[in-house]
Structure 1
Amino acid sequence: MPSDSPAAPPNGGREDAVGDGSDTGFGVAVARMRDALERSRSDKLLALFDHLAARARDAAAPSEAQIAAEVFADGRSAAHRPDANVRVYVHRLRRLIETEFAHEPGPRLHLPVGTYRLMLVDAAMPAQHQGAITAQPPVVLPGTGPTRPWVIALVAVLAVVALVLGSALVVRWQRGAGDRLEGTAPWSALAGASRPITVVMGDYYFFAETPASGMPARLVWDHAVPTREDLIIFQMLNPQTASAVTDRDQHYVTSATMTAAATIRAALLRDPAFVQRPIRLIAASQLTPDVLKVSDVVYVGQLSGIGALLRDPLAQASGFRLDAGLDSLVDAQGGKPYHSDGLELRDQRIARRDYGYLACLPGPAGNTVLVIAALRDPGLREMADLATDTGRLRGLRQGRIGCGGGFEALFQVRTLGNANLGASLVVDRPTRSQGIWDNAAPAPEYHPIAATAAPVQ
């Protein structure tokens, strides 16, 4: 599956717009971004980008109404009306542009907030040493005579101004430090350590099935057969049909999972507390006990793809359980279900609902395990944005330091088609983390492969 590059850091230097849309640097950057969008397989994002690139040389930036009419028109005769698609897709395009040009020196594409003009900017590095200017006492040269009183007064005023500016810079630096992930739960639980950080992407196991009709073999996903070991069990229990299914060691990662993992990784690389630590991305099926023991682990993906090594302790710690259909979480305290609307529809104007999940657990060897997940892909995209936004993370329980002994939070995510429109906090509570790495959770009952297993066309 295609994936996006890590998200870009905030602009840290000057941004000089290149006015000529035919400039070589602009053309190269546009071609690079267009290739990335073609890999994302989103026709509407590509159409929006092409439209903004073509209008980059215009004297006036295109308006929202113009973009809605020229890019998102559905062919129906209707009066002009506010179109949320423009704002949603522009927001997604802005994030993808930042992702593609992450940590790029020199010119890069930029789509500023508040305007729909695509431009080329120069991301210059900020000065390495900045600080308050301290006024020096006046120097009296030989033969110049005594310093006049007004000169002394001027120097005193300059000294006071320098002191005020220096204090303002210190306050601003302190506030900036508070905006970093290392100062916000749950990421503060990872700060201060030197162990590697492993970002684990949820994935799904596929096996090959040969139909009795003699048709070519097809790849099949069945949530009752999450691993190749489960397929072996099925073959042992059903020798008469064992030859019809074959293990090909195939695993699938959704595009939203890969994009979310890249967003998380890029946010860690932007933060001074994590940038020097090794950060690697692996699939959940590649996670081993040795990796879990020596690194901090950040799981990113749908809850159904978490893998047994993390699913077992999470099932003991959490107050939720995932239902058999994989599209609902049920609260053990009262049995209230939180149901996702399911798979995405093609009609972009139908509002939908998903649920995102954030958890922090103490690891088995003094490390930390974070879970950034959702029931479906739209919720996962929102959770990746939320988990890297320090302002939104502060909306969780105040006073929590790091994991706070373990906690979980559930968010209701508003979606529009395959776009996320925001999230609201539903549950925020401690987890039952004691002994989750020492005791095994109850083993689920074995179910044979169902006839309704989903083939991959």
Structure 2
Amino acid sequence: MDATHAADPSDPASAFAQEAANFRELLSAGRSPVFLQLFDFLLSRSQDERAPKEVEIALAVFGKDGAEGAVGDSAVRVYVHRLRKRLDDHYAGRAGHRLHIPKGEYRILLSAQTAAAMPDTTVRWPGLPRWRVSTYIGVIALLLAANIAIWWLVAPARPPGDPALQLRSTSFWHPLALDKPSLVVTGDAFLLAEAEQQKDIKRLILDPAIRSRSDFGSYLTNHPDAFYSLYDLDLHYTPVGTAVATWSILPVVHALHSARGSEPLLVPSSRLRPAALESNDIVYVGRLSSLGLVAPPLFQASGFTWDQADGILKDRRSGKAYSDVPPSGQESQLRRDYGYIASFSVPSGRHILVIAGLGDRGVESMAQLVTNPVEIGQLAGQRAATRSFEALYEVKSMDNVALDRTLLLVRPLRSAAPMPARPRSGR
């Protein structure tokens, strides 16, 4: 802490106010009104018994539209994460009082750390310069990542009893040709930034109709008034559940390809190109709302319709609708999500596997299902689970922890019709 901003260490309230003033001055110098508003709001709520919820922060910092938009909660998490990192950077290597945002909470607290309690931040090796621990850990992380990558490439073929290879015999996984690299497509969303005076970002926008840079170009052509307010900053949002599920699926797809000497490729759905649907098998992992180019061939063959605007999956035959939106005020109680899987071919002869859900719990539960040889084998044993089929599961969870899943239906899929040509548009 600077001498000019010294605080009485015996008075926590005085120290808290001084540290807050110092950090606020730093944010003001950075000319970032969003971070400043977020910091001030969290500061004002830090003494409350209950930490504010994401929707409260979205309303206070991003305005009413930010809270109601689909990206409201994600914007809050992104900015809080960045604010927490700015605090960590600000206090790096310092002793004394510091502000911090606890993990899992949206409030700012004061903690004290004496010089004696601080760990030695250097690593001393004979004949070598002194490295900071953070640098040393970074080097170790890079080496570990390199070793994992090397192992990934040169690992020997797995034994026949390996669960990943047992999956190959099921009707869900068997249709993958493996003659070319399969694309593991992760469901993400293309974000736009709304800025004032081409400088300060006011909010982030997730528009289901704008899935890519090409879509954004088409949108600007039809809405020229948005040219100076909406910007493509190459921002993409992937839900945590999709990332966790993808981490579970990648080793399986890699093991299947290893037997053929090929490697799968990882592609975000917002960057998937139409040609890929014609030339590669695809394993989609993510929310149904992020299917992108996978959606048209899937719902041409499916017995469901998908309402992108409302996030509702509807059965064509029964008319029953499925949504993961919980009742108001019951976010922490038992709630229902829905998981969906499909395995089908497109007119080009390539095959698409869909491992999806309406929400995070549905996506994660389906990833667990399709990577379990016993459970996916039981599903594959049903008459309706042919080479092309779909299945819907109800997934119950409590406080974001999946409790169980129940099969609601499984049925064959119709043959997918040829996809219409996608119009070209400028970037």
Q: Return the TM-score normalized by structure 2.
A: 0.56
Match of 1:70 in 2: none
Match of 1:420 in 2: 402
- Partners of 1:177 and 1:241 lie apart in 2 by 52
Contact 1:353–1:415 under 8 Å retained in 2: yes
Give the secondary-structure state (helix, strand or coil) at the position aligned to 1:329: strand
* 1:207-263 per-position Cα deviation (integer Å, ceiling 9, x unaligned): 111248995443221223333334333333333443111222322112221221121
Contact 1:343–1:376 under 8 Å retained in 2: no
Distance 1:270 1:247, change over 3 A: closer
Match of 1:384 among 342, 359, 367: 367
Match of 1:319 in 2: 303
* 1:11-42 per-position Cα deviation (integer Å, ceiling 9, x unaligned): xxxxxxxxxxxxxxxxxxxxxxxxxxxxxx77
Match of 2:317 among 327, 333, 343: 333
Does the alignment pair 1:256 with 2:241? yes
Match of 1:186 in 2: 172
Distance 1:395 1:343, change over 3 A: farther
Higher helix share: 2
Does the alignment pair 1:368 with 2:313? no
Distance 1:176 1:245, change over 3 A: closer
Give the secondary-structure state (helix, strand or coil) at the position aligned to 1:185: coil
- Partners of 1:362 and 1:240 lie apart in 2 by 42
Contact 1:356–1:374 under 8 Å retained in 2: yes
- Partners of 2:201 and 2:347 lie apart in 1 by 45
Pairwise CA RMSD: 3.9
Distance 1:202 1:410, change over 3 A: same
Contact 1:408–1:431 under 8 Å retained in 2: yes
1:182-331 matches, within 5 Å, as: 182-190=168-176, 193-211=178-196, 216-270=201-255, 274=259, 276-307=261-292, 309-331=293-315
Match of 2:20 in 1: none
Distance 1:273 1:240, change over 3 A: closer
Distance 1:293 1:344, change over 3 A: farther
Unaligned runs of 5+ in 2: 1-73, 75-102, 106-146
- Displacement of 1:272 after TM fit? 8.0
- The amino acid of 1:229's aligned partner reads S
Match of 2:335 in 1: 352
Percent identity at matched positions? 32
Distance 1:429 1:347, change over 3 A: closer
Give the secondary-structure state (helix, strand or coil) at the position aligned to 2:342: strand
- Displacement of 1:314 after TM fit? 1.0
- Displacement of 1:422 after TM fit? 2.0
Distance 1:291 1:423, change over 3 A: same
- Partners of 2:199 and 2:181 lie apart in 1 by 49
- The amino acid of 2:303's aligned partner reads G
Contact 1:178–1:184 under 8 Å retained in 2: no
1:135-154 matches, within 5 Å, as: none
Q: Relative contact order (alpha carbons < 8 A, sep ≥ 6): 1 or 2 greater? A: 1
Match of 2:71 in 1: none
- Displacement of 1:439 after TM fit? 5.1
Give the secondary-structure state (helix, strand or coil) at the position aligned to 1:223: coil
Unaligned runs of 5+ in 1: 2-40, 44-100, 106-124, 129-172, 444-457
- Displacement of 1:356 after TM fit? 0.5
Distance 1:280 1:178, change over 3 A: closer
Does the alignment pair 1:394 with 2:380? no
- The amino acid of 1:368's aligned partner reads H
Match of 1:429 among 391, 394, 411: 411
- Displacement of 1:296 after TM fit? 1.6
Match of 1:116 in 2: none
- Partners of 1:201 and 1:387 lie apart in 2 by 16
- Give the number of the structure whose alpha-carbon radius of gyration is greater: 1
